[in-house]
Amino acid sequence: MADATNPIKQFEIHSIAGIPFGDWKFDFTNSSYFMVTSVILVSLLLSLAMSRRALTPGRAQSMVEMLYEFVTAMIRSMAGDAGLKFFPFVFTLFAFILMGNMLGMLPYFPAPGFHGFTFTSHLIITFALAMSVMAVVIGYGVFRHGFKFFSLFFPSGVPWPLYFLLTPIEIISFLSRPVTLGVRLFANMLAGHILLKVFAGFVVMLGSMGAIGIAAAIAPLAMVVALTALELLVAFLQAYVFAVLTCIYLSDALEPGHH
């Protein structure tokens, strides 16, 4: 009963298999399992949907084409036509995060000894994704513009004495991007799943108290249903927000002097 009602239990990382390497041990964990599963499912769904391409698309092909157009329009609106070169990167991030969020909403998704793990509720994962975005931004920015990329920290049209104030602010703002990008996704997924587990725990505890408890459990059960619908929306919105901010940051790599 304690594990069933513990809202933190769902975030624990467990080892599935370990490979010893000297004094080190490389573990394949439940987090790794769900990340690999997300990649496989996205790849399979896209491959199956587009395996029979037709001028009159079926439902699966239509959904994939709508997703393609959705991400394309998002990139074009945030980074212009030049940003479309980053489509594979943005689409991969969006699909990976969205699938991970959705898998975390399935409490009985098959896994070795555990269920319903959400890897995007772990800061180390979301921060790593955010750092990959910043690595692409800096890498492409320096590759395309050289040292002119760092004009990003020197806003144009500003009297030079103000650079002593504005440049540190711009640098701090830039360095804080991966932190805020990672924390936003992590915090929203963590809070939502904790809240769901708390109300689900109320249902379990009240339901074990007999007829009166079962009657009292109706209210938290209704809240669980409502929160589940909300969390499904949040799962999509957080993947969308992450992708949108990625596009905005990539626009700095394309035009570092543009604000």
pLDDT of 116 above 80:
no
pLDDT digits (tens, 9 = 90+) for 85-101: 999 999 999 999 999 99
Quick check: 179 pLDDT over 90? Answer: yes
pLDDT for the residue numbered 177: 93
Q: 235 near 104, Cβ under 8 Å?
A: yes
Mean pLDDT of 223-248: 92
Q: Confidence class of residue 222 from pLDDT cuts 50, 70 and 90? A: confident
Q: How far apart are CA 174 and CA 143, in angstroms?
A: 18
Whether residue 259 is predicted with pLDDT greater than 60 in this model: the reply is no
Q: Where are the domains of the chain?
A: 2-254
Query: Which of the pair, 187 or 6, is modelled with greater confidence?
Result: 187
Answer yes or no: are the C-beta atoms of 90 and 243 closer than 8 Å: yes
Average the pLDDT over 25-45 and give the result. Answer: 89
Q: Model-level pTM greater than 0.75?
A: yes
Q: What pLDDT does 114 receive? A: 55
Spatial contact of 253 and 144, defined as CB atoms under 8 Å apart = yes
Provide CB contacts within 8 A for 50, sequence distance 6+: 61, 64
Q: How many other C-beta atoms are found inside a 10 Å radius of the C-beta of residue 40?
A: 11
From the list 120, 68, 117, 127, the residue with the least C-alpha distance to 234 is 120
Residue 38: which pLDDT band, with cuts at 50, 70 and 90? Answer: very high
Cα gap 41→71, rounded to integer Å: 19
pLDDT band for 108, please (50, 70, 90 cuts). low
pLDDT at position 160, please? 81
Residue 130: closest CA among 144, 145, 120: 120
Mean pLDDT of the chain: 85
pLDDT in tens, 42-63: 999 988 887 777 666 677 788 8
